[in-house]
Amino acid sequence: MPIQEKENISTAVLTCETGGLPPGSLQIKNVSKAFPNVQALNNVSLDIKAGEILAFVGENGAGKSTLLKIINGDYQLDSGELILDGQPVKFANPYEAHAAGIRVIYQEPEIIPGVDVAENIWVGELPKKFGFIDRQKMNQVVKDNLEEYGFASVVPAHLMGDQLSAAQRQLVEIMRALKSDVKVLALDEPTSSLSDEEVDRLFTLVRKLRDNGIAIIYVSHRINEILKLCDRVAILRDGELITIRPASELSEMEIVHLMVGRELSDVFVRNRVSSGKEMLRVENLHSRWHKDISFHIKTGEVVGFAGLVGAGRTELAKVLFGEYQKNRGKIFLDGEEITVRNSNDAITKGIGFSPEDRKREGLILIRSVLENVSMVIIKKLSRFGFVNRTKERLQAVKFVDRLDVRTPSLEQEVGKLSGGNQQKVVLARWLAAQPKLLILDEPTRGIDVGAKAEIYKLIDQLANSGLAIMFISSELPEILGLSDRIYVMQNGHITGELSGEEATEEKILKLAMAEDLSDTKIAEPRINETEPSE
């Protein structure tokens, strides 16, 4: 079915090219972009007409952000072209895109904390008079603009950058864009941190801008909002454009179905026998990011954690691993209540954690496979501080073999291995440590399909050998294919628990994107996040 639809689109695009688009429209023609091991965009063609609101929807990794970044000049396309106003354009960086009239407003706008709203809006192009900043003009223009769009009461021009709420930051960023002559305006998840009232205000603004003839791209996970606001919907999946249709022809279920689209292939193995006793139990955990989280994982069980980016899953893993602090709640491991002060503590108590970003948080890229594998167990392999190098090699070889890490030697720098093999090195490290609970955060991110299948097989084997596995992933097929049970998180809550049998992608997505179930909202979960010092 998807193939048929794709043919429809290409003919549709052809007619668009011949039929004239209103001035100020942006055409995207046959755009492709590849990253190491991933084809992020594959021959995508669509056009954004001046005076319409076009939605981009898709799962995490479908290619929406990549497309936005290409439009904004953050990324260079591998092939294809962008046509603005009938002229082919090329942007080497975001400044060139701004100059051409394209503005992308990301989820977390860059706001300078120490200056006021007016200056934030004018930043980079401060009006000058005799070489000094023309404050009067600056304030007047900002005030006029805010009044014109009805936001004068919402964003007082004299507020300082660090006094602004998430919604106000968003508006400042939009005002920045409007100050210059903008033709195409893209909004990336603009409502994720807004209250209902603020969302309504934003919608009014966006509609007004559309009526003024601006082409608007609207990226969101909230499908009901999209149906309410947008004129057309473009659905992306695995870097390809699946379909582009008027919003009036689509229902919420249909969109979810098109986003998900694929059948589960047989890359997922499940040889494991039933699960055993309870290994991890979390009761009413509260933290800066979480509200009332309760769940459990048994030995021999793979428990999936699904949710959108920013739902608080990685933060949950880091709370369990002692990187972040919990405020309240209890954690039981193997029947005993534990408090985990830091990662060393977590490791001693039997928790292993393979982080989401293996290059930044997982591996010492410039050191050898051997050193990376033996890092956690190095103390056990030592006497009086001296490493028993024979034992170390034997251990490393054992796990490197077991995971089939393909490396020319144990001395090879880890950074020179492929992504899949790097991931296996991280896993080898944790297997060597023999934990009771293993937390895997996006273990297959950025690795090729073959390596993914191997990792899936390994996860199954590990569970079979009696490990309790907490499996965080943003890829629904692998969550469904591997998990015995699935918890779905949204905005710091667990919004649902599904058994492996009853779970479907539609059910998970519904839970992950559900409107807030409780009135209490965790504000700005990812803004101003400070990591503990190293």
Partner 1 sequence: MTTDVKMFSSEHGKSRKNFISRFFDFIGTDNLSLMIALFLLILFVTVFSSWVGLSGGNRFFTWQNLMNSLAQAIVIVGLLALGETVVALAGAMDISVGSIASCGSVVSTSVLVGTGAIGSLGIFPQNSTFWAIVAGVLIGMIAGFINGFIVTKLHVNATVATLGTMAAFAGAAFLLAPDGKPIGVVTQQSFTWLAQGRLWQDSAIPAMNGSKWTGIPVLTVILVVVAIIMHVLMRYTTFGRNVYAIGGNATAARLAGINITSMRIRMFMISGAISGLAGVLLASRTTSGNPINGQGLEMQAITAVYLGGASTNGGKGTIFGTIMAVLIVGVLNNGMNLLGFNTFVQKVALGMLLVAAVAISQYRIIQSEKARKKVEK
User: Least distance to partner 1 from the beta carbon of 328, Å?
Assistant: 24
User: How many CA atoms within 13 Å lie on the side-chain side of 423?
Assistant: 23
Helix axis angle, 449-464 relative to 419-432, nearest 10°?
A: 10
Gap between the Cα atoms of 506 and 260, Å rounded: 8
Among 264, 366, 449, 517, the residue binding partner 1 under the rule CB under 8 A is: 366
In contact, 116 and 122? CB cutoff 8 Å: no
Give burial (CB, 10 Å; 0-12/13-18/19+) of 390. exposed
User: How many CA atoms within 13 Å lie on the side-chain side of 228?
Assistant: 11
SS3 call for 10: helix
Strands (E), 477-516: 485-490, 493-499
Among 198, 371, 454, 460, the residue binding partner 1 under the rule CB under 8 A is: 371
Name the residue nearer to partner 1 (CB basis): 376 or 486.
376
User: How many CA atoms within 13 Å lie on the side-chain side of 345?
Assistant: 14
User: Least distance to partner 1 from the beta carbon of 96, Å?
Assistant: 25
**Which region, judged by CB under 8 A, interacts with partner 1, from 47-55, 271-279, 378-386, 462-470?**
378-386
Q: What is the β-pairing status of strands 302-307 and 485-490?
A: parallel
Residue 341 binds partner 1 (CB under 8 A): no
User: How many CA atoms within 13 Å lie on the side-chain side of 162?
Assistant: 3
* 3-state percent helix, strand, coil for the chain, nearest multiple of 5: 35, 25, 40
Name the residue nearer to partner 1 (CB basis): 17 or 401.
401
Gap between the Cα atoms of 31 and 41, Å rounded: 7
Residue 440 binds partner 1 (CB under 8 A): no
Q: Residue 219: name the closest of 254, 248, 192 by CA.
A: 192
User: Least distance to partner 1 from the beta carbon of 389, Å?
Assistant: 7
Name the residue nearer to partner 1 (CB basis): 42 or 418.
418
Helix axis angle, 252-260 relative to 505-513, nearest 10°?
A: 120
Residue 502 binds partner 1 (CB under 8 A): no
**Which region, judged by CB under 8 A, interacts with partner 1, from 97-105, 129-137, 294-302, 408-416?**
408-416
**Which region, judged by CB under 8 A, interacts with partner 1, from 146-154, 329-337, 359-367, 495-503?**
359-367
- Identity of the amino acid at 13: V
Residue corresponding to tokens 């009036």: 248
Residue 455 binds partner 1 (CB under 8 A): no
Residue 415 binds partner 1 (CB under 8 A): yes
Among 249, 266, 501, 534, the residue binding partner 1 under the rule CB under 8 A is: 534
DSSP for 420-464 reads HHHHHHHHHHHHHT--SEEEEESTTTT--HHHHHHHHHHHHHHHH
Gap between the Cα atoms of 298 and 273, Å rounded: 12
Name the residue nearer to partner 1 (CB basis): 66 or 220.
66
Among 279, 346, 437, 438, the residue binding partner 1 under the rule CB under 8 A is: 346
User: How many CA atoms within 13 Å lie on the side-chain side of 20?
Assistant: 4
Among 142, 182, 410, 458, the residue binding partner 1 under the rule CB under 8 A is: 410
Residue 449 binds partner 1 (CB under 8 A): no
Among 19, 20, 36, 124, the residue binding partner 1 under the rule CB under 8 A is: 36
Among 85, 254, 361, 475, the residue binding partner 1 under the rule CB under 8 A is: 361
Among 199, 378, 453, 522, the residue binding partner 1 under the rule CB under 8 A is: 378
Among 225, 240, 315, 323, the residue binding partner 1 under the rule CB under 8 A is: 323
Among 21, 111, 209, 376, the residue binding partner 1 under the rule CB under 8 A is: 376
User: Least distance to partner 1 from the beta carbon of 35, Å?
Assistant: 9
Residue 387 binds partner 1 (CB under 8 A): yes
**Which region, judged by CB under 8 A, interacts with partner 1, from 49-57, 331-339, 414-422, 460-468?**
414-422
Give burial (CB, 10 Å; 0-12/13-18/19+) of 190. buried
Q: How many residues bind partner 1 (CB under 8 A)?
A: 47
Residue 533 binds partner 1 (CB under 8 A): yes
Name the residue nearer to partner 1 (CB basis): 153 or 533.
533
Name the residue nearer to partner 1 (CB basis): 318 or 493.
318
Gap between the Cα atoms of 28 and 214, Å rounded: 16
Residue 530 binds partner 1 (CB under 8 A): no
Residue 256 binds partner 1 (CB under 8 A): no
Name the residue nearer to partner 1 (CB basis): 37 or 204.
37
**Which region, judged by CB under 8 A, interacts with partner 1, from 12-20, 180-188, 383-391, 467-475?**
383-391
Residue 101 binds partner 1 (CB under 8 A): no
Residue 19 binds partner 1 (CB under 8 A): no
Among 14, 112, 133, 394, the residue binding partner 1 under the rule CB under 8 A is: 394
- Identity of the amino acid at 490: Q
DSSP for 257-283 reads HHHH-PPP-TT---------SEEEEEE
Q: Which residues bind partner 1 (CB under 8 A)?
A: 36-37, 321, 323, 342-344, 346-348, 353, 355, 360-367, 371, 375-376, 378-379, 382, 385-387, 389, 393-394, 397, 400-401, 404, 409-410, 413, 415-419, 429, 533-534
